[in-house]
Amino acid sequence: MRSALGQKANTTKQVLLIEEIGNNLKRIEPLLAPMEQYQLTVCKNHTEAMQIMYASGADIVLLCCSSSPLPCQGMIADLIQCHPDLPIIAIGENISPEHGERLIQANATDYLSTDTLTSDSLLRCLRYAESTQQKNSEIDQLLHRDPLTTVGNRQFFYRALLQKLTQLPHVPRQLALITIDLDEFRKFNTRFGVSSGDQIVQDMCQRIQNSARADEVIARLGSDEFALILDCSPEEDLDIAVNAHINRLISVLKDPYIHGNESSVLNCSIGVALAPEHGIQLDELTRKATIARFSAKQVHGCSYSIFRSSMEEEINNQPDLAADLMNALRGEQFTLHYQPRIDLHSGRIVGAEALIRWNHPSRGLIMPSDFIPTSEKSGLIVPIGYWVIHQAGLHLQTIKTLGLHIDRLGVNLSFRQFRDDHLVSTIRRIITQNQIDTSVLEFELTESAIFNDEEHVRECLDALSEDGITFSLDDFGTGYSSFALLHKLPISALKIDRSFVSHVNDSNEAAEIVRSIISLAQNMKMKVIAEGVETREQLDFLINHQCDQIQGYYYSPPVSFEDFIRMLSTN
Ligand code: C2E
Ligand code: CA
Ligand code: CA
């Protein structure tokens, strides 16, 4: 099949004679037979012609026309939609110059009258059509090529996709539209300048090309956004092909990018929509691939999503929730609950983790899993996060005023909060204004939050630890678990993720992971806290393996501040 830019490697040209009207084969065939470079195929009607075009294509079409140009014009439109730069020669008896002009206006390349047809005029006309097509296709390539990367541009891509989608009802194929971009590319550009940005885009394009199949359509849609079309036969398993392709893409895109004397890790997000499964309309398919890519963006690191209809619902509901969250912040609808942290040596409460809840006026108490992701997506987690620190600070003061004490108060910091350039200065201001005892404050971070932008996070943590704040790694074992990270950052505690703790008694693997995290923490002189302890057996395992502290329903779920005070006073 011809590629979207219209090249064909074979030197023999396929001439398709469409003879719905008239009987020109008798005249054409003997004239064309000695011309070895042309191979003739004949078809008798519109359906047959379109089938041939979709299946194998043609290099030149000879379209037989009657004295009325109308039916011919319709046919030309259909052919052009199938192959935009196809040379079409209208052919008929006594085509008048007016009639010929109308055919050319309807996108025919040229016209021939059979009454004056000779071998010579036919050859000239074919050559002219070819060279016109060649020139058009050169112009076309220039217009449709991205100057920075030399792959196709946005116009090229949409045309190629449209062409493939129009063919779908006629040919049994399946397509995957894959869109790719980098996370925080804009930030990179601001920090390192556009020429470094251009270098990254070129490198990224090269990597995408290296991981693509030969027949794939690849284009740059803008800035750092690329798209490709995976075109599969019906025998191929599309899911497998898409997965294999994406794994190849991620494996090449996750490597650091070198620019000047520096190197940066830039994560990518990939969104996929499938045709015909998710639609055969261009707008619909591109929109769905973008939705999937946005959904992939919510996951740290290089990640991908294949479109699901629930993503659309989520997007539709998002503005409401985001607006609601805004009101919640203004209307003081958030509260903090506290889950005690128990020291296993003394059996006493030595700390707590502050966990946010939303007291919704009509929906009741909403748990963080139902609104933190949207807060992160909308950026509202930044002010909400400050509210949490502020509120936790007020509670710490109350604890002190009541003559009570805890060693540590854990406060969760989301990855998104590090994107706020004023993070350190704002936290410092909240601390000073509320006279928070920084030695009690322990921010809980996840490994992925750090991995996202290691340098920047390190700068923030270093600055905050100068003020006496400590840090723990939350959900430890589920993320990247880079030991280098533990050495480089001021982290004083590891929190073993609940998924391991809950299986210590029924999975050797979980037990082994918990044992190694405990000994890792001991070797690095860090405290180790097991999360989500629910049973006596889990507790016994942790005591036997010298875990320092636990948190979990076995001892207490998160409780209101008032209840926590009661627990502390009878500690
Ligand atoms: P997390 O930081 O891992 O918090 C621990 C979660 O485990 C809490 O869920 C807690 O209620 C739950 N949990 C504790 N012990 C047990 C147990 O024994 N069994 C079971 N099944 N669950 C237990 P919660 O309060 O729903 O919070 C969920 C997540 O929301 C937190 O996970 C944290 O990532 C996030 N989150 C909560 N508050 C904040 C906040 O103020 N800021 C940010 N950025 N995230 C928060
Ligand atoms: Ca936590
Ligand atoms: Ca956790």
Where does a domain end: 144, 164, 187?
144
CB 236 within 8 A of CB 168: no
Ligand 1: residues with CB < 6 A are 339, 355-356, 367-369, 372, 381, 385, 388, 412, 414, 444, 474-475, 498, 532-534, 551-553, 558
| Domain shared by 71 and 208, yes or no | no
Is position 8 within any domain? no
CA gap 68, 99 in Å, rounded = 8
Number of structural domains, the chain? 3
| Domain shared by 225 and 79, yes or no | no
| Domain shared by 322 and 303, yes or no | no
Name 290's Cβ contacts closer than 8 Å, sequence gap at least 6: 179, 271
| Domain shared by 503 and 551, yes or no | yes
Check pLDDT > 60 for residue 8.
no
Report which ligand 1 atom has the smallest distance to the Cα of 533. 18
Angle at 12 (CA atoms; ends 7, 13), nearest 5 degrees: 65
Q: Which two tokens stand for residue 501?
A: 């703790």
Check pLDDT > 60 for residue 5.
no
| Domain shared by 82 and 160, yes or no | no
Domain that holds residue 494: 314-569
| Domain shared by 444 and 341, yes or no | yes
Query: How far is the CA of 11 from the CAs of 38, 62, 99, 101, 304, in angstroms?
Result: 9, 19, 33, 31, 41
Q: Which residue has the tokens 């659309």?
A: 312
- Mean of all residue pLDDT scores within the chain: 90
| Domain shared by 400 and 540, yes or no | yes
Q: What DSSP line would sit under 323-374, residue for residue?
A: HHHHHHHHTT-EEEEEEEEEETTT-SEEEEEEEEEEEETTTEEE-GGGTHHH
Is position 3 within any domain? no
Ligand 3 centroid to Cα of residue 497, in Å, is 6
* Partners of 364 in beta bridges: 360
| Domain shared by 301 and 324, yes or no | no
- Find the CATH number of the domain harbouring 450: 3.20.20.450
Q: What is the pLDDT of residues 231-255, one digit of tens each?
A: 998 888 999 999 999 999 999 999 9
CB 227 within 8 A of CB 157: yes
Residue 310, exposed/middle/buried by CB under 10 A (0-12, 13-18, 19+)?
exposed
Name 317's Cβ contacts closer than 8 Å, sequence gap at least 6: none
Choose between 10 and 520: higher pLDDT.
520
Is position 291 within any domain? yes
Is position 510 within any domain? yes
What is the CB-side half-sphere exposure of residue 316 using CA atoms within 13 A? 5
| Domain shared by 159 and 122, yes or no | no
Check pLDDT > 50 for residue 2.
no
Name 126's Cβ contacts closer than 8 Å, sequence gap at least 6: 13, 15, 35, 38, 60, 89
Where does a domain end: 90, 125, 144?
144
Query: How far is the CA of 415 from the CAs of 25, 372, 461, 565, in angstroms?
Result: 71, 12, 13, 30
| Domain shared by 353 and 219, yes or no | no
CB 18 within 8 A of CB 66: no
What is the CB-side half-sphere exposure of residue 18 using CA atoms within 13 A? 26
Is position 71 within any domain? yes
Check pLDDT > 80 for residue 292.
yes
| Domain shared by 400 and 505, yes or no | yes
Q: What is the pLDDT of residues 451-485, one digit of tens each?
A: 767 889 999 999 999 999 999 999 998 866 667 77
Q: What is the pTM of this model?
A: 0.57
Nearest to 89 by CA among 162, 32, 7: 32
CB 446 within 8 A of CB 472: no
Least confident piece of the model among 55-64, 79-88, 171-180, 437-446: 79-88
Residue 191 burial (CB count, 10 A): 12
Q: Of all protein residues, whose CA lies closest to atom 21 belonging to ligand 1?
A: 532
Ligand 3 centroid to Cα of residue 474, in Å, is 5
CB 318 within 8 A of CB 374: yes
Is position 282 within any domain? yes
Q: What is the pLDDT of residues 382-393, one digit of tens each?
A: 999 999 999 999
Q: What is the pLDDT of residues 441-451, one digit of tens each?
A: 999 999 878 87
- Find the CATH number of the domain harbouring 279: 3.30.70.270
**pLDDT at residue 96, rounded to an integer:** 87
Q: What is the pLDDT of residues 373-413, one digit of tens each?
A: 889 988 999 999 999 999 999 999 999 999 999 999 999 99
Where does a domain end: 90, 121, 144?
144
Is position 7 within any domain? no
Q: Of all protein residues, whose CA lies closest to atom 12 belonging to ligand 1?
A: 532
| Domain shared by 34 and 172, yes or no | no
- Find the CATH number of the domain harbouring 117: 3.40.50.2300
